[in-house]
């Protein structure tokens, strides 16, 4: 017991010393705002050279060690089981070997950490080399440590026990140099733990300390000192939230991710993977459909149960604060507890959040409340704030997913630099950071799943990432989008002297269809949502459209409602009448036809880097149309204004929205995932009529109706979504385009979403609706014009200090296929404003820049 306890204390103190780097990084003076890093370039943070891997234990920890050793010595002297034991031990100490061999604690139980992790633990014991992290070469040799001047009492006790039981091992000269020596001790097959020393373990058992007790302490030690502490992630979130400067946000997150990589075992990728998921507030890839978004009432109940406060008090606090995360944090800070809970670790939080998201069925609400209560009970300081926000579905720290990807790229490069142990010039480091960022963004746009990208990054590095991570059937990629244009003349200006094609723009739902080599078919939305259960008829009829030469593919297409009798296309409103979940073939009333317009993958080969003309030919060679079920998008390669005008009129007569105009040849025609590109232009009938562009906006507020609109909402406050700041920015009040039936329907849908106070992530401006809504419902709205407004906050500061608002907005339809985060972004609204004739008096703009997810 003596040896094992001192080993535990010494190891713990050593690791506590090693973790001072993270503490210094996150430490903030009381009552003072942390000084932000002065960063013109990110690499200035790491100009100081390679980070030290270990630090000397603090003075108070050394004093605690001495106290523990004295206490153990007193306990040993009080043991009277064997007379004369003390004198024997004294003699053995005097005549014993000069150094004791260090032993590893090995555990073969599957629930315990892997052997590589255990090796990292034991190598961090005092007197041994630091653990081999990802930042250091796995093949680097351990440097010997200088010979100790005197032997500690723990070593003496170990020698006495070994000599007393007759199991003393022979000494090796390398022990004097501090080299670690591993001896093959017999494993306890029943318990799976190797004894620290034969006689010492025997004495431990005789004193009543069971192996199970040792396992419990060992497991706790592993969990605390090897897992990423959730408090560190919460502090990082707090630092990111405290600044509006993008470079500072990126610096904080990069520094934290780098520390996670450095402290991970050689084969551990889960630490970084789980950290990234929590930073983007997701638990899995989009197509798996695991979402949080727990309701406000459920969270209020959990906070009340965990803190002992009443629901009335918590609701009053929420009305005052407007942020349930702050309410939870304040409630925890005022709560007194008898015992300090074990610190939360990131794996523990991640697994419990996933359990909450996947809990379903009978009594699922009660189970969720129970798990949330358990999490909150263990929270300290600001942890409750971010756990509640994660459960709500919004972190509100102003850090978009693309910023997280940049931080991952920078952290990986800096870890590689430290591993190589070479000095790089500032120019080389800056270039390397930029190259890595572009590479990871490109790969993630083709294979948007961190489950595959993060392990590949840690395994093969940035340079070989594209060899491992490619477009894969079954993993939906973000679709390529088109820029709006208001005149055929703009189209001809953009594609002057270029080959282009015009296709019907169907009034349906974007569908990305995948077929794996085993024949499995999946249908995904533009948001990567799995719609296979929504469209079982598509999955059923697709095999009939495939030729024998087609083994696997990824199609980009549009699912359109169709009358199978007349083969007439029906508007999107008819398609939206279909059930979204658990659709049975016999219950389907609205039939769907799939119109394919692009082929992204065929028989094991990605086609993204091939011209559209070649992709289109392959599409038509490997698929066959079936009337009313599958067809190719109708196209025309016309190049004159008259021909385009005639084709546009035909598309409108056939029930389409207008035309898609696409570059046909050259590199400009390559498929660009997740990008809104000028190489694709959309030309709608409404644009030509001078009505303007349509926008997808979120309903965030309502105004009570008057007259015949009494008892329903008569008008609504709409907002766009800024993914950089994670805020909804108000843009207009809308009250036209609604029938009485529509108003009744909207009232029923929005009434349950009413809030007592506006959410903190809604940028209100001067708008004053009668009620606020939780941002969930998306509407497509048509506008005649855009103007500057001192009341609304959309794109505020982009064009002018005033925001942008819509003039004469008119409701078109509900966008059930879009989430609130998919609403039109402020930068696109600002660009639309600049494109207006009044804003372009002196210049005519040709084309424009691409808008990217990144």
Phi, psi of 782 (to 5 degrees): -105, 145
Are the C-beta atoms of 514 and 554 separated by less than 8 Å? yes
Count the Cβ atoms, other than its own, within 10 Å of residue 312: 9
Q: CB-based contacts of 52: which residues, under 8 Å, 6+ apart? A: 21
818 has which bridge partners? Answer: none
Q: Are strands 553-563 and 675-684 parallel, antiparallel or unpaired?
A: unpaired
3-state helix, strand, coil in the chain (%, to 5): 45, 15, 40
Q: Do 221 and 16 contact (CB within 8 A), yes or no?
A: no
505 in active site: yes
Task: State phi, psi for 699 to the nearest 5 degrees.
Answer: -85, 115
Q: How far apart are CA 51 and CA 251, in angstroms?
A: 16
SS (H, E, C) 431-488: HHHHHHHHHHHHHHHHCCCHHHHHHHHHHHCCCCHHHHCCCCCCCCCCCCEEEECCCH
In angstroms, rounded to a whole number, what is the distance separating the alpha carbons of residues 54 and 51? 9
On whether the CB atoms of residues 298 and 365 are closer than 8 A, the answer is yes
- Can you tell me the distance from the alpha carbon of 595 to that of 634, in angstroms, rounded to the nearest whole number? 9
Among the listed residues 347, 355, 382, the one whose alpha carbon sits nearest the alpha carbon of residue 275: 347
Integer Cα distance of 457 and 260 in angstroms? 14
CA dihedral 209, 211, 214, 215 (to 10 degrees): -160
Closest of 808, 770, 768 to residue 791, by C-alpha? 768
8 A C-beta contact, residue 794 and residue 719: yes
Of 203, 235, 332, 505, the catalytic one is 505
Dist. CA 822–CA 720, nearest whole Å: 9
How many angstroms separate the CA atoms of 384 and 416, rounded?
A: 34
Q: What is the DSSP string of 297-336?
A: HHHHHHHHHHHT--HHHHHHHHHHHS-HHHHHHHHHHT--
Distance between CA 412 and CA 418 in Å, rounded?
A: 10
Of 401, 394, 231, 235, the C-alpha closest to 324 is 394
Tell me which H or E stretch contains 746: helix 740-750
Are 375 and 387 a contacting pair, CB within 8 Å?
A: yes
C-alpha count within 13 angstroms, C-beta hemisphere, residue 394: 24
Active-site residue set: 505
């Amino acid at each position: 017991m003596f040896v094992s306890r001192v080993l535990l204390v010494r190891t713990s103190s050593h690791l506590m010393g090693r973790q001072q780097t993270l503490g210094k990084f996150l430490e903030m003076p009381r009552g003072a705002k942390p000084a932000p890093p002065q960063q013109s370039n990110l690499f200035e943070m790491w100009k100081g050279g390679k980070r030290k891997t270990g630090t000397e234990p603090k003075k108070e920890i050394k004093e605690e060690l001495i106290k523990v050793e004295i206490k153990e010595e007193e306990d040993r002297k009080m043991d009277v089981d064997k007379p004369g034991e003390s004198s024997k031990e004294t003699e053995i100490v005097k005549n014993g070997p000069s150094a004791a061999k260090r032993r590893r604690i090995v555990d073969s139980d599957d629930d315990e950490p892997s052997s590589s992790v255990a090796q990292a633990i034991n190598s961090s014991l005092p007197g041994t080399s630091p653990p081999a992290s990802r930042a250091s070469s796995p093949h680097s040799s351990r440097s010997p440590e200088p010979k100790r001047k005197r032997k500690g009492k723990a070593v003496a006790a170990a020698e006495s026990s070994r000599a007393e039981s007759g199991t003393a091992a022979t000494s090796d000269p390398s022990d004097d140099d501090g080299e670690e020596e591993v001896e093959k001790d017999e494993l306890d097959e029943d318990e799976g733990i190797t004894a620290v020393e034969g006689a010492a373990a025997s004495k431990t058992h005789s004193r009543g300390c069971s192996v199970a007790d040792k396992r419990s302490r060992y497991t706790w030690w592993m969990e605390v000192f090897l897992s990423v502490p959730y408090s560190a992630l919460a502090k990082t979130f707090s630092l990111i939230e405290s600044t509006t400067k993008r470079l500072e946000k990126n610096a904080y997150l990069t520094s934290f991710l780098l520390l996670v990589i450095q402290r991970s075992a050689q084969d551990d990728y889960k630490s970084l993977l789980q950290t990234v998921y929590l930073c983007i507030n997701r638990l899995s890839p989009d197509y798996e459909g695991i979402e949080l978004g727990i309701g406000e009432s459920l969270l209020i109940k959990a906070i009340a149960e965990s803190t002992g406060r009443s629901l009335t008090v918590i609701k009053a606090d929420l009305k005052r604060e407007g942020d349930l995360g702050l309410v939870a944090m304040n409630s925890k800070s005022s709560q007194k507890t008898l015992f300090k809970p074990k610190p939360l670790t990131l794996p523990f939080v991640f697994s419990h959040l996933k359990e909450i998201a996947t809990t379903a069925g009978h009594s699922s609400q009660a189970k969720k409340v129970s798990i949330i209560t358990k999490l909150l009970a263990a929270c300290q300081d600001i942890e409750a704030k971010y756990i509640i926000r994660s459960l709500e579905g919004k972190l509100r720290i102003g850090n978009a997913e693309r910023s997280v990807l940049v931080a991952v790229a920078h952290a990986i490069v800096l870890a590689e630099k430290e591993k190589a142990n070479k000095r790089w010039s500032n120019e080389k480091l800056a270039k390397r950071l930029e190259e890595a960022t572009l590479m990871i963004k490109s790969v993630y746009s083709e294979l948007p799943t961190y489950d595959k990208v993060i392990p590949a990054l840690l395994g093969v590095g940035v340079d070989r990432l594209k060899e491992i991570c490619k477009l894969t059937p079954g993993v939906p990629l973000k679709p390529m989008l088109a820029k709006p244009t208001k005149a055929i003349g703009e189209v001809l200006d953009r594609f002057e002297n270029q080959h282009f094609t015009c296709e019907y723009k169907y009034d349906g739902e974007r569908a990305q269809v995948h077929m794996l080599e085993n024949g499995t078919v999946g249908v995904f939305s533009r948001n990567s949502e799995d719609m296979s259960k929504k469209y079982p008829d598509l999955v059923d009829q697709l095999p009939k459209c495939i030729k024998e030469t087609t083994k696997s593919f990824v199609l980009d297409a549009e699912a359109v409602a169709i009358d199978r009798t007349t083969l007439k296309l029906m508007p999107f409103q008819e398609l939206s009448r279909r059930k979204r979940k658990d659709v049975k073939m016999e219950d389907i009333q609205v039939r769907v036809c799939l119109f394919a317009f692009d082929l992204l993958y065929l028989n094991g080969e990605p086609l993204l880097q091939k011209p559209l003309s070649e992709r289109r030919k392959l599409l038509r060679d490997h698929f066959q149309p079936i009337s009313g079920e599958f067809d190719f998008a109708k196209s025309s390669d016309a190049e004159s204004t008259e021909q385009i005008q005639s084709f546009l009129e035909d598309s409108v007569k056939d029930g389409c929205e207008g035309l898609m105009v696409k570059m046909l040849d050259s590199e400009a025609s390559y498929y660009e995932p997740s990008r809104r590109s000028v190489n694709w232009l959309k030309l709608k009938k409404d644009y030509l009529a001078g009505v303007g562009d349509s926008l997808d906006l979120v309903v965030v507020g309502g105004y009570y109706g008057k007259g015949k609109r009494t008892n329903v909402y008569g008008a609504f406050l709409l907002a766009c979504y800024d993914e950089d700041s994670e805020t909804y920015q108000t843009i207009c009040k809308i009250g036209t385009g609604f029938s009485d039936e529509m108003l009744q329907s909207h009232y029923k849908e929005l009434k349950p979403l009413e809030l007592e106070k506006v959410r903190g992530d809604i940028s209100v401006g001067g708008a004053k609706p009668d009620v606020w809504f939780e941002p969930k419902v998306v509407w497509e709205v048509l506008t005649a014009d855009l103007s500057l407004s001192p009341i609304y906050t959309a794109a505020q500061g982009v064009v002018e200090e005033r925001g942008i608002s819509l003039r004469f907005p008119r409701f078109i339809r509900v966008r059930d296929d879009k989430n609130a985060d998919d609403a039109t972004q402020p930068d696109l609204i600002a660009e639309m404003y600049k494109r207006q004739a009044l804003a372009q008096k002196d210049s005519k703009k040709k084309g424009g820049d691409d808008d990217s997810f990144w």
